[in-house]
Structure 1
Amino acid sequence: MTNELEKLIGEYLAMRSGALPVPEGQHPGQYLNSKIELIEPVSRLAKSTVSMGPANGGASGSGLAGTFVRSLADAGRDAAHIAVSLVRQIGKNSYTYYDTYAISGVSVDRRISISDNIYIVPNDQAPKGWFTDHIFTDFRFPSPFGDREFRKSEDAALIIERVVSPALVDGEARTDDEAHAWEDERHRLTQLLMLSISLVTGGFSGIRNRTYTYEEDSLFGLMGQGIFGGTSRYPKGSNKLLKDGAEVAKYLQKLSDFSYPRAIELAAMRLLKSRSLSTIEDSIIDLGIAIEVLLVQGSRQEISMRAALRGAFLLSSEPVERRKLYESFRDLYNARSATVHDGETPKKFRRRLAEWDQLIDRLIKSLLARGEFPDWDTLVLGAT
């Protein structure tokens, strides 16, 4: 194979330089691709496609092989090196790629491991790719609160390593339903990660952008790279320093295992949104929605009193503290109602946002520790 490949590469380079004529109707790259399909083991890939991955699969196996050889030849690699690399990549039939996310509101001073394949690093330690630098470039953002310069260069990089195996399959890569399910899984994982990080830091965390890169000299790394948008929300203040990946992993597991995961996720998302750069009215409404999601299951009557009682009895067994909690929950719900109906938050409530933030944070963590919603009647009516 090496001799055939070396000859083919020589012809390709000579055509590109003009030393050899290019067959009519072709350019040098097309000539290379048409010939390499006849050489083993590339010839076995004629009907193969990439099974899955960041580009959603579908690329031709033999087409990738031609692009791989052409790129290494253009980089000055010799034919023997290219042949060995190509045979190894085809035989391996798997590859690793790195989903890289720029996280607003979070910074780290070292690698923080959440699991074997999920970690957060300072952005200068992110895998290098065509768009990696771009997603960590500072920019100025006009807003109703005055123009702000967002220091994306200070954001952390969330890395999710993914192994695709088998990388090449015969026939069609996968159905549209399978592709959509895979994208849904990706979105759900990153949302749970943002919620978990927010619960650990006590601040806002959101994905600004995503890109992806491949392991070095990968046959599949030539499928192209992209950049994708993320949240339009930004933290109210400076980034929060994340120190403990084990805590993030703990909340990630608890959110996934909760008896009604969508409910707890919705409430946690409202807490996260309330911590973003927004008006106090938006934040109060978000926290009020979190109360309804968590404390008003099964009834729509006497919402304020019911939510306040449930929250107070859930968070404390001490009568004095229960009274304080009851009043705090009640005031938050009343502030939410006044904001919705009047269009602004009453002055007497405007300085209590931090108190209510901690109240909802504590409520979510208490429910996650239980793993399920309690029997509210037993909790309240049976309490002593």
Structure 2
Amino acid sequence: MIFAYGLAAVFVKHRIFMTGGDLTHTQAIELLDEAARELAEIRRGKHYALWRDDKCRPLGDALRQVSPFDAYSDSWIFTGDGGGTIAHGRFGDWAIDRLVEKLEPAAILAAFGEEIAGNVGHYSELSAILGVQLDTTVHLGDGVTLDAEPEDTFEGLIHRIPFQMLPVPSGTSVLRHRYRVEPAFELRTAAPTGKSVTTPASPARDQVRQRVRLACLLASIGPVELPFSLLQPDRASLFVAGDGNQAGRPFAAMPLVAFPVEGAAVKRAYGYLATFRGGASMARAIDRLGRSRLAINPVDRALDLGMAAEIALMHDHSHNNTEIAHKIGSRSAWLLGQTPTDRATIFTEMKSLYGARSQAVHSGFLSSRSTIDLDAADALVTRIFNAILARGAFPDWSSLVMGGDALQPVEDEDGA
């Protein structure tokens, strides 16, 4: 265990009490007894909420001053994936939760010893699934749950509160992915290591999040995005913190409606995606389907839908379409090239770009042997667009590639 020597020394100091015999913890027992007496006098839920708000902080501050809590009042708490913060531990919250469970003060201190010895923090990463209103909570296994919004108005509000920074539609479901951090904390009085292990780590959780989005797209009729995640500490864990590890991701647009979706359909699609061979291509096709649902006009929707269909239905097609590659290479060469050497270079670059595009469409990835310079390709395409725009209309391509006047425009399908 990391920092074993420093922590072990403190734990040995308190081990007698863990069996119920060390009088040095009298003050902690008195504080817990007092809180237990106050809790026993409460009869109504709203009174409990008010009492807890008033009691939590002062109880935590008081416990931090007495044994055995004082030895752990200055700690570095790991929040997972390399994150962490200086904190005191959830002494007040954690002790009240144990009192609510009807634990006696001696049992609470024994549980404290178990938390110290185990030194594991438990968290959930929450992601609002914008665009999806599940009919029931779905358990996907391995600590992954899709939480449907409760029907009760008040509970539904609590369900959405973590995402109040986003305009989350009513009914929005939430992806909950549980993970653990070990060690949970490190004493700042010991030689710091700054090392912890997160299980599952962020990349694995991100894969699950992407798969959930794709599964929801297949089960829904609308767009689906998971643009924001945040951590939620487990209330049973003592050394956890909830003020970090918030992560935002880019997304095309904000789905404004949560469409009703069957949880069983999402679970079925999620299972298929987990075992599907050729997952990269299928993921890209479904992603394009999702983008089409966010399109503002029919032209963009048709483009994305067509690309989605091509990715899936042309999966076994050759990565190179010689006729199309030759055509766009020739048009680019004669549009931009001023000399035979220029035209030959541009022709080769455009064929390379189309080859990379075809490979990406049909296989879902670029080969490690690919030599395409995407920055250079971007610059070339930009030059082509600017050259076309400067002419006021698309050139007469047939004339152009035969050495005709490159400045001669041709009417498009709209007659413009």
Q: Which residues of structure 2 form unaligned runs of 5+?
A: 1-16, 32-57, 326-361, 363-387, 395-411
Contact 2:77/2:85 (8 A) holds in 1: yes
1:250 paired residue number: 271
Name the CA distance, whole Å, in 2 between partners of 1:239 and 1:134.
20
- Structure number with larger C-alpha Rg: 2
Going from structure 1 to structure 2, the CA distance change for 1:346 and 1:122 (only over 3 Å counts) comes to: farther
Aligned with 1:92 (options 97, 118, 125): 118
One-letter amino acid of the counterpart of residue 100, structure 1? L
Contact 2:25/2:66 (8 A) holds in 1: no
1:162 paired residue number: 179
SS in 1 for 2:136: coil
Name the CA distance, whole Å, in 2 between partners of 1:192 and 1:103.
12
Name the CA distance, whole Å, in 2 between partners of 1:5 and 1:346.
86
Deviation at 1:87, TM superposition (A): 1.3
Contact 1:104/1:239 (8 A) holds in 2: no
Contact 1:236/1:276 (8 A) holds in 2: no
One-letter amino acid of the counterpart of residue 264, structure 1? M
Q: Deviations over 1:8-66 (max 9, x none)?
A: 6879xxxxxxxxxxxxxxx9989975875xx49x85x7998656527x44456xx54xx
Q: Deviations over 1:200-241 (max 9, x none)?
A: 335422114323323223213345366544545244865141
Deviation at 1:299, TM superposition (A): 0.5
1:69 paired residue number: 91
1:210 paired residue number: 229
Contact 2:60/2:93 (8 A) holds in 1: no
Going from structure 1 to structure 2, the CA distance change for 1:292 and 1:248 (only over 3 Å counts) comes to: closer
Name the CA distance, whole Å, in 1 between partners of 2:29 and 2:253.
50
Contact 1:197/1:205 (8 A) holds in 2: yes
Which segment is superposed worse, 199-208 or 227-236?
Answer: 227-236
Going from structure 1 to structure 2, the CA distance change for 1:232 and 1:4 (only over 3 Å counts) comes to: farther
Contact 1:96/1:163 (8 A) holds in 2: yes
Contact 1:9/1:73 (8 A) holds in 2: no
2:139 paired residue number: 113
Q: Which residues of structure 1 form unaligned runs of 5+?
A: 12-26, 140-149, 305-313, 315-339, 348-384
Deviation at 1:113, TM superposition (A): 2.1
Matched, 1:134 2:161: yes
Name the CA distance, whole Å, in 2 between partners of 1:53 and 1:346.
56
Matched, 1:241 2:268: no
Alignment of 1:316-355 (within 5 A): none
2:205 paired residue number: 186
One-letter amino acid of the counterpart of residue 69, structure 1? F
Aligned with 2:217 (options 171, 175, 198): 198
Name the CA distance, whole Å, in 2 between partners of 1:346 and 1:187.
44
Name the CA distance, whole Å, in 2 between partners of 1:246 and 1:115.
10
Name the CA distance, whole Å, in 1 between partners of 2:241 and 2:78.
15
2:193 paired residue number: 172
Deviation at 1:104, TM superposition (A): 1.5
Going from structure 1 to structure 2, the CA distance change for 1:83 and 1:225 (only over 3 Å counts) comes to: farther
TM-score when normalising by structure 1: 0.54
Matched, 1:298 2:319: yes
Matched, 1:221 2:243: no
2:294 paired residue number: 276
TM-score when normalising by structure 2: 0.50
1:101 paired residue number: 127
- Using the aligned pairs only, state the percent identity: 19
Name the CA distance, whole Å, in 2 between partners of 1:51 and 1:271.
39
Which segment is superposed worse, 182-191 or 73-82?
Answer: 73-82
Name the CA distance, whole Å, in 2 between partners of 1:81 and 1:225.
31
Q: Deviations over 1:250-292 (max 9, x none)?
A: 233135x42xx43332232111111125332332332344356
